[in-house]
Amino acid sequence: MDSLSEVWQEVLQLCRDRVPVVLYNIWLVNIEPQKLENDTVVFVVNTDFKKNIINEKFDEILRQAFYEVLGFKVTLDVIVSSSSQDTSSESNESPVERHMQEYSFDNFVVGSSNSFAHAACRRVATVPGVQYNPLLIYGRSGLGKTHLMLAVKNELQKRNPDAVIMYTTGENFTNELILCIAEKSTAAFHNKYRNVDALLVDDIQFIQKKVSTQEEFFHTFDTLTNMGKQIVLTSDRPPKEIETLDERLRTRFEMGLIADIQPPDIDTRIAIIKRKSQQIEFVIPETVAELIASKLKSNIRQLEGTVKKLSAMYKINGLPPTVELASKIIEDIVSDSKPVSVIIDKIFAEVSSSFGVSVEDMKSDKRLQSVTNARQLAMYIIREVTGMPLTNIGLLFGGKNHATVHHSINKAEDNITKDAQLRVTVDEIMKNIRD
Ligand code: ADP
Ligand code: MG
């Protein structure tokens, strides 16, 4: 495998967590960059339509992911060529499937922070549907929940190739259900989820506040457990902290086994760094591994990201993995993950003082022109600076919907292009926020 396609696999892996599964499978799995030239990544696709989608929907996400993998910023160039074919058709195994297989029990490092969850998952993968049903794994982001869940999936499938093992996310489950309700095809939905041998739902906390999804999940759950089918769930918090979770559902969750994953101790962190570098055939000096493990404590994804960046810097730019380089990469990772809420508060404060509109008014429904302008700009800046999804931005503004946010951001962009003075003000605000 050459280095660019290795980089691409890593970019895909990051995108997998950030793009709705359906979109990911439709748009991203089938493309692959052709070359990396002067910080420009070139993709060749076969239709204008695909090109537009990639430019409009994924440009930002892809650039961010490339940045995290490569450690430097790139631009994307999507070219349409009538002769190009989907690269995926060359192999009958998609990158997603290849990735799924990377998540095994064998490459999961066990330490005291995750040994209980690990043992429970192993047990369920060996004798499903009997003892721990449902099995719920909870823990903060980046601690290995999805890894364990996919390890269960792969192991179950390996032991029983004909079984239908369904993996989905709480978000995907919800979106599909909404689509089926709209198309009046809920029967198809029932068929799909109630005729499986095991159902694995990742990030189940997503269904909080969604009454119809909870109702549907409750019935799916009942049907499956009554037939002795295994259910595995993950959540970023324990069931009792999942807000507005239907009491019946909460009781069901608690009927099975609940196992938590805690942040790993230093020895486990070092072992993970070593394992991850071995996996990509990259040698990390002991001192560098220790440095990374001592600086990054709470998120394994960040440990892994650092290892991958070091490897890419070496393989692509020829830079050896020194303590200095590792410190620089860690610094970037840590500052990138500065709590977004802090940045958002700052944006609100900056916009408020620049335009003389209170934060409360920006978050309200008031339609006074000055308030509307400030609100639109604040949304625009939040989008630019944090890359947050529109729906989440809407929530910051008193629950405005996706379409409203979209419209407001377009409007703000329009105003900025037309008004040089405004452009200067916005640049200044952005600069203040970064400092
Ligand atoms: P979560 O779903 O809890 O947010 P993931 O399962 O996606 O976390 O884990 C993030 C990354 O860290 C993945 O690439 C995963 O392989 C890796 N990881 C987490 N825990 C371990 C572990 N104990 N051993 C090896 N890799 C791990
Ligand atoms: Mg996960």
**79-122 pLDDT tens trace:** 887 554 433 333 344 444 445 557 999 999 999 999 999 999 99
Reading the block at residue 371, the tokens are: 């308030």
127 half-sphere exposure, CB direction, 13 A CA radius: 6
Using CA atoms, how far apart are residues 392 and 116, in angstroms rounded to an integer?
A: 34
Please give all residues whose CB falls under 5 A of ion ligand 2, grouped by chain where several chains appear: 145-146
Under 8 Å between Cβ of 103 and 260:
no
> Ligand 1: which residue has its CA nearest to atom 16?
147
Q: Which ligand is nearest to the CA of 301?
A: 1
Which of 8-17, 109-118, 419-428 shows the lowest per-residue confidence on average (mean pLDDT)?
419-428
Position 333 confidence tier, pLDDT thresholds 50, 70, 90: confident
Using CA atoms, how far apart are residues 146 and 103, in angstroms rounded to an integer?
A: 9
Q: Which ligand is nearest to the CA of 107?
A: 1
| Higher-confidence position of 428 and 157 | 157
In the predicted structure, residue 1 carries a pLDDT above the cut 70: no
Of 110, 112, 116, 147, best ligand 1 pocket probe by most atoms within 8 Å of the beta carbon = 147
> Ligand 1: which residue has its CA nearest to atom 25?
108
Q: Any residues with Cβ below 6 Å from ligand 1, and which?
A: 108-109, 114, 139, 141-147, 272, 275, 300-301, 304
What pLDDT is stored for residue 121 in this prediction? 98
What pLDDT is stored for residue 90 in this prediction? 34
Q: Which ligand is nearest to the CA of 203?
A: 2
Mean pLDDT of the chain: 87
What pLDDT is stored for residue 94 in this prediction? 42
> Ligand 1: which residue has its CA nearest to atom 26?
108
Using CA atoms, how far apart are residues 189 and 183, in angstroms rounded to an integer?
A: 11
What pLDDT is stored for residue 185 in this prediction? 85
Ligand 1 atom nearest the C-alpha of 202 is 2
Q: Which ligand is nearest to the CA of 261?
A: 1
Ligand 2 mean position to 417 CA, how many Å? 39
Residues 6+ away with beta carbon under 8 Å from 58: 15, 19, 27, 28
In the predicted structure, residue 157 carries a pLDDT above the cut 90: yes
Q: Which ligand is nearest to the CA of 150?
A: 1
Specify the 3-state DSSP secondary structure of 232: strand
Q: Could you read off the pLDDT of 246-291 as tens digits, one per residue?
A: 888 889 888 899 999 999 999 999 999 999 999 889 999 999 999 9
Query: Taking Cα atoms as reference points, which of 231, 250, 228 lies closest to residue 241?
Result: 250
Under 8 Å between Cβ of 124 and 197:
no
Reading the block at residue 100, the tokens are: 């799924």
Using CA atoms, how far apart are residues 383 and 388, in angstroms rounded to an integer?
A: 6
Strands 40-45 and 33-37: antiparallel
Q: What is the DSSP letter of 360?
A: H
Using CA atoms, how far apart are residues 377 and 412, in angstroms rounded to an integer?
A: 5
Residues 6+ away with beta carbon under 8 Å from 199: 166, 168, 193, 220, 224, 229, 230, 231, 232
Which of 16-30, 285-299, 328-342 shows the lowest per-residue confidence on average (mean pLDDT)?
328-342
Ligand 1 mean position to 281 CA, how many Å? 19
What pLDDT is stored for residue 36 in this prediction? 83
Specify the 3-state DSSP secondary structure of 168: strand
In the predicted structure, residue 205 carries a pLDDT above the cut 70: yes
Ligand 1 mean position to 118 CA, how many Å? 12
Using CA atoms, how far apart are residues 51 and 352, in angstroms rounded to an integer?
A: 38
In percent, how much of the chain has pLDDT > 70? Answer: 93
Of 301, 306, 307, 337, best ligand 1 pocket probe by most atoms within 8 Å of the beta carbon = 301
Query: Taking Cα atoms as reference points, which of 120, 117, 94 lies closest to residue 24?
Result: 94
| Higher-confidence position of 219 and 57 | 219
> Ligand 1: which residue has its CA nearest to atom 5?
144
Compute how many other C-beta atoms are within 10 angstroms of the C-beta atom of residue 341. 10
What pLDDT is stored for residue 89 in this prediction? 34
209: left (phi over 0), alpha (psi -120 to 50) or beta: left
> Ligand 1: which residue has its CA nearest to atom 6?
144
Ligand 1 atom nearest the C-alpha of 13 is 14
In the predicted structure, residue 375 carries a pLDDT above the cut 60: yes
Strands 165-169 and 33-37: unpaired
Reading the block at residue 146, the tokens are: 């999805």
Ligand 1 mean position to 299 CA, how many Å? 8
Using CA atoms, how far apart are residues 49 and 175, in angstroms rounded to an integer?
A: 24
What pLDDT is stored for residue 91 in this prediction? 37
List, in sequence order, every beta strand (DSSP E) within 250-294: 257-260
Using CA atoms, how far apart are residues 151 and 124, in angstroms rounded to an integer?
A: 11
pTM above 0.95, yes or no: no
In the predicted structure, residue 74 carries a pLDDT above the cut 80: yes
Under 8 Å between Cβ of 231 and 224:
yes
From the number of C-beta atoms within 10 Å of its C-beta (0-12, 13-18, 19+), residue 104 rates as middle
Query: Taking Cα atoms as reference points, which of 46, 38, 41, 51 lies closest to residue 77?
Result: 41
Ligand 1 mean position to 147 CA, how many Å? 5
Ligand 1 atom nearest the C-alpha of 264 is 23
